A and B are shown apart, each in its own frame.
Chain A
């Protein structure tokens, strides 16, 4: 983790001179904890983040240092980018459109992709079709209402929507409160770093691939845990999945938030 943070300082120290000039009055570039206002909200197309990524060659190194994929170089990162998003959609950007413009077309595309999955997840967790349908509509309405709380450097769109669905499930199925940790919000003047968001998204997609290649028995155990068929004492400590790389990414984002808050 220390290594990641050190490398990230390097990344910031090496971003283009124009960027550096823009920020050097506000922050010590060696500390580099300010979040970049030009990121995320200004990006309107799927291509843009990739272009941004390409103009920051060190961002690839940042990813490398954190995920431990030694020897692949930037090419590896690029490959993942091209593999990602079979639908060609960066959902984080679509959520930003919902957030910033109350864009109903963007919301419809999110709905078409995620609502059937949310409903399937709820039904596999034990809901009948009508309860699952009702909860799914509520989950998607929550997405609309809370789009401003979504932080793509800490969760992919699928992850965030999963947490909303999970909370709705506890509320509706078990009639329990769901205590949530205190939050670490990003303030109104700050925006998540697009390169960080992209890197997390790539890690999330790699995890999807890793799940697909798990032995059937192991995958079944994990599914049982998430669909509610195992108690915590029955859950195995080892998943066999590379969760450490994602943890490191999120930890980096948290460290930046902590620094920005102080």
Chain B
């Protein structure tokens, strides 16, 4: 049962299409797991549709309709677009699209203490990474300059804020310093997105940070 959801601001920005790609990915992954937020997004999309519908008309090119028909006719014969349905596995489909498969396709890089990460190829305005935290292990204590979204995909973790299980999303900003610790029962896998570098409390990770891009 998911108890930590997306904020209205994130849903509205996702609906408007103004989030950095890494955040879009995290929001899309959470919605893949959470019908409540999917329905809330539907409401924000309805708002977008209503705003578009009341835009004052702008004149189209004279041949606009014919040009559109030509685009339809000229397009090479394609198989009918299929809806994106969940592939089996731990990772929701939007993440699998970036990884090129499920967990077995992830190219993990160790970052110390058994913690591993894999940075996903998104635009540079924010970073998305998969994190592997061994059962019972901790991610170094860190604060944030911008916003950090952490979506639990497998297992669970606890920090100073609360306990987060599969499907839960933690939204952390400047005010939050936290040390996420994975539950002992199972290795924890998360998708974490940040729009500014993290700030680590201790020296070693701070020295390593430029090399690890965390």
Contacts and interface: CB of A to CB of B under 8 A. Distances in A.
Interface of A: 104, 108, 111-112, 115-121, 123-124, 129, 132-133, 136-138, 140-141, 144-146, 148-149, 154-156, 158-163, 165-167, 169-170, 174, 176-185, 203-204, 207-208, 211-212, 222-223, 225-228, 230-233, 235-239, 241, 243-244, 246-248, 250-251, 254-255, 258
B50 A207 contact: yes
Interface in B33-76: 35-36, 38-61, 64-65, 67-69, 71-72, 75
Given A176-B24, A178-B21, A250-B42, 17 more contacts: A140-B68, A141-B68, A154-B42, A155-B42, A155-B45, A159-B50, A161-B49, A179-B98, A182-B32, A207-B47, A230-B18, A231-B18, A233-B146, A233-B147, A235-B12, A238-B8, A254-B38
B59 to A, nearest CB: 7
B43 A136 contact: no
A211 B54 contact: yes
A159 B49 contact: yes
A235 B10 CA distance: 8
B58 A116 contact: yes
Nearest to B81: A146
Contacts of A156: 46, 49
B138 interface: no
Contacts of B185: none
Given A182-B86, A183-B85, A254 B39 contact: yes
Contacts of B71: 137-138, 141
28 contacts: A117-B53, A117-B55, A145-B78, A148-B80, A149-B81, A154-B42, A156-B46, A159-B48, A162-B49, A178-B17, A181-B92, A183-B84, A183-B85, A185-B83, A204-B49, A204-B50, A207-B50, A211-B47, A212-B54, A230-B18, A232-B18, A232-B19, A233-B147, A235-B8, A236-B9, A243-B47, A250-B43, A254-B39
Contact of B47 (A148, A169, A222): A222
B57 to A, nearest CB: 4
B164 interface: no
A251 B39 contact: yes
Bin the interface of chain B by size. Answer: 35 or more
A247 B47 CA distance: 11
Contact of A247 (B40, B58, B64): B40
Report the 9 A-B pairs with minimum CB-CB distance, sorted nearest first: A159-B49, A120-B55, A232-B13, A185-B83, A183-B83, A158-B49, A250-B42, A116-B57, A162-B49
B46 A159 contact: yes
A144 B24 CA distance: 26
Contacts of A222: 47, 51
A144 B10 CA distance: 30
B97 interface: yes
A119 B9 contact: no
Looking at A104, A179, A251, which has the most chain B CB atoms within 10 Å of its CB?
A179
Binding site secondary structure of chain B: helix
B38 A181 contact: yes
A154 to B, nearest CB: 6
Given A119-B58, A119-B60, A232 B147 contact: yes
B84 A180 contact: yes
Contacts of A254: 35, 38-39
A179 B97 contact: yes
Contacts of A160: 49
Nearest to B61: A133
A218 B69 CA distance: 39
B210 to A, nearest CB: 25
A111 B64 CA distance: 9
Contact of B46 (A148, A165, A207): A207
B65 A111 contact: yes
B107 to A, nearest CB: 19
Given A117-B57, A255-B35, A161 B52 contact: yes
B39 A181 contact: no
Nearest to B34: A181
Looking at A154, A212, A225, which has the most chain B CB atoms within 10 Å of its CB?
A225
B158 interface: no
Contacts of A212: 54
A180 B12 contact: no
Contact of B39 (A116, A237, A250): A250
B42 A225 contact: no
